[in-house]
Structures are given as C-alpha cells and as structure tokens.
Amino acid sequence: MQRKNKTLGEFIIENQQEFQYSTGELSKLINAIRLAAKVVNHEVNKAGLVDILGAAGETNIQGESQQKLDVLANEKFKQTLQNREIVCGIASEEEDDFITINSQDEQHQNKYVVLIDPLDGSSNIDVNVSVGTIFSIYRRVTPIGSPVSLEDFLQPGVNQVAAGYIIYGTSTMLVYTTGHGVNGFTLNPAIGTFYLSHPNMQFPETGRIYSVNEGNYTHFPQGVKDYIKYCQKEEDDRPYTSRYIGSLVSDFHRNMIKGGIYIYPKSSTAFNGKLRLLYECNPMAYLAEQAGGRASDGYRRILEITPTELHQRVPFFCGSRKMVEKAESFMAQYA
C-alpha cells in the first residue's frame, strides 16, 4: 500500500523497476510533463486576470477555433519537452504535423515520442469550468539514430508505455499509468509539489452516471438512442443520472471515482465521432483498462485499432466495465 504523503518524484524513483526499459529516461519524461503542468496550471488559474481568455483568431488542423490558452498550453508543453532533450518527436492536437526533435549531437538518440492534447475542454475556460491536458507516450519503432517518422506515431494504443492526464479544477491533479495501475497526485500550490493522493485508482464495476451530449440525440445511431432510453428507464437501480461537462478529462475523472460511462458516438453530423484516437481515446482507454474499466468504439477495443492518420477520429465508449458492455450490447443489435 502506497503511503499518501509521498511526492510524485519519490513515487517515480521507487517504481522505476516496474518499467521494462528502466534507464531513467521515462522518469525524466514524466518529470518534464509534471513541470509543464505546473506552468500551465499557473496560467489557467490567472485566466480571468490577464488577456488569455477567448479565441486566438486561428483554427487548428481539425478546423476548430483555437482558444488563447490552447496556444499557450501547446507552446509550454513543446518548450519543456524540447528543452529537456528526452524525446525524439512530439505530435500535438494543435499542430498540423508531428515535430522532429534532434538531440544535442543531432544523432537522434532519444527513444520516446509524446502525443498530447495540451488543453482538453478549453472552451470551458471562459466560464471557469475544469479543463485538462492528456498525454500518451510510446517507444519509437524506427531505428535509433534516424530521424523520427510518421510510423513512430501511428502505433496502436496497446503499444503505449505510459499515459495520463492533468486536470485543472478545484485542485490540480496529475493521474498517470505506466502499465502497473493508475495513481493520482494532487498539487500543493503553496510549495509546488505533487503528492500521492489517490493510490491505485479503480473504476467501480458499474455506476449510475452516463455522460453524453444529449443535445445531439437525434443524430445518434439507434444503438446509442436505445442505451440512453435504457439509462432513463425507471427500473432496478435506474434511472441513471446524466452528467456531461464537455471536457473529456473532467467527465472521465468523475466517472473513474464515482462509476459511470462516457460516450461520444459517431452521428449523422460527425460520421467518425469527434474525439481523436491518438490524443484522447488511446491514452484514456489505457488508463481505463489499467483501472479495471473498459473502452471501445462501440464494437472494437480502442487499444487494438491501428491508426492510419495523426488526427484520426473514432467513436468512444469508456468507463465502468459493466456499463460499457451494456452499451455495446445495444450497439451490437444494429451492427
């Protein structure tokens, strides 16, 4: 049992042996993400005091309006990872293409690539609602010494060596896994240190919360419509409670603690759904499975989908195992 006053730094050092490639590089990488998270947290917390609210006037590769904090968070994470010289490439939801990073000797000796959604749910910033950062880490598959390539990023989620998120809410938490369970660390803002506050996080096997944007109900597949009606029916322990924040990190975090399911399905207006496989679904699916939950696109396990492009979108069903299985049973009727 992990003691709850342990710092993130102490935890990383003590658990390095659980990682099969324990050369210290992954630990440095997690520490770099921790540093960038503290910088972004500082900016988020003063969002109402300086001119970083609202749209930046640009659109990202997905055609979505970029918020000023999207741009700021993207730059902070890129700078921190580049300056530490511990990754060979970065792919961001806010960038058109991946970024190649040379080590000092320009021999491309670094082994890891990072995929990141710098500020998930950033449209909520203007109304002071929780937002987050999502990250995913892979070992490169191209030879060390060569420049990083698209192949290094287009790996199925089962190949992830670490994944996690930072939630900027009433408290700031960093939650991550390296394939040996999920642990959450809460930032003490007085001293700038993350402490282990949620050891061995687990999804309840089932729950009573469903998270879906019901405003799009008429555009959903019939299987999703049927599942929503099932959730609303007065029977057994139902109706369930509908809770939808509009920030994947926030909805996922609440459901992991209380038990629930998050659904962002395909629709008649978004045939492949809205969420990105590489920046959102894969890391959250990895966390969910490590915490005893389940994640699929309604039919297939998310972590087994082989990506074909950097900004690929997929439908997403994720949360307590029995709830996801029930939703999948409704989807299967219309397969």
Domain ranges for the chain, please list them: 8-198, 209-332
Q: Which band of pLDDT confidence, cut at 50, 70 and 90, is reported for residue 115? A: very high
In CATH, what number does 209-332 get?
3.40.190.80
Higher pLDDT, 123 or 254: 254
Q: Compare 60 and 137 and report the one with higher pLDDT.
A: 137
User: Is the model's pLDDT at 153 over the cut of 90?
Assistant: yes
Q: What's residue 3's pLDDT?
A: 59
Q: To which H or E segment does residue 34 belong?
A: helix 25-45
**Helices and strands: H and E segment counts in the chain:** 8, 15
What confidence category does residue 86 fall into, taking pLDDT thresholds of 50, 70 and 90?
confident
pLDDT at 129: 84
Taking the CA atoms of residue 206, residue 208, residue 211 and residue 216 in that order, the dihedral angle to the nearest 10 degrees is 120
pLDDT cut 90: percent of the chain above it? 72
Output phi, psi for 233, to 5 deg: -75, 135
CATH, range 8-198: 3.30.540.10
Q: In what order do the strands lie in the sheet with 209-211?
A: 241-242, 209-211, 261-264, 316-319, 294-296
pTM of the predicted protein model: 0.92
| pLDDT (mean) for 129-154 | 94
Q: Which residues are annotated as a binding site for Mg(2+)?
A: 93, 117, 119-120, 280
Q: Is the pLDDT of residue 207 over 80?
A: yes
pLDDT higher than threshold 60 for residue 63: no
22 — pLDDT class (breaks 50, 70, 90): low
Give the pLDDT score at 309. Answer: 96
Say whether pLDDT at 5 is over 90: no
Whether 52 shows a pLDDT value over 50: the answer reads: no
pLDDT band at 179 (very low <50, low <70, confident <90, very high): very high
| Residue matched to tokens 């299985």 | 325
Cis peptide before 204 (omega within 30 of 0): no
Query: Residue 50: is its pLDDT beyond 60?
Result: no
Which of 58 and 316 is assigned the larger pLDDT?
316
Locus of tokens 């949360």 = 319
Question: Looking at the predicted structure, is the pLDDT value of residue 26 above 60?
Answer: yes
Position 242, amino acid: S
Residues annotated within the binding site for substrate are: 120-123, 213, 244, 274
* More confidently predicted of 289 and 17: 289
pLDDT reported for residue 57: 47
Does residue 19 carry a pLDDT above 70? no
pLDDT at residue 68 in the model: 78
The amino acid at residue 313 is R
The two tokens of residue 213 are 């944007």
210-241 pLDDT, tens digit per residue, is: 999 999 999 999 999 999 999 999 998 999 99
Segment 16-22 shows an average pLDDT of: 66
The whole-number pLDDT of residue 60 equals 54
Beta bridge partners of 166: 133, 174
Mean pLDDT (whole number) for 256-285: 96
Of the candidates 71, 79, 65, 66, the residue with the CA atom closest to the CA atom of residue 35: 79
Question: Which amino acids are annotated as binding site, given as ranges?
Answer: 93, 117, 119-123, 213, 244, 274, 280
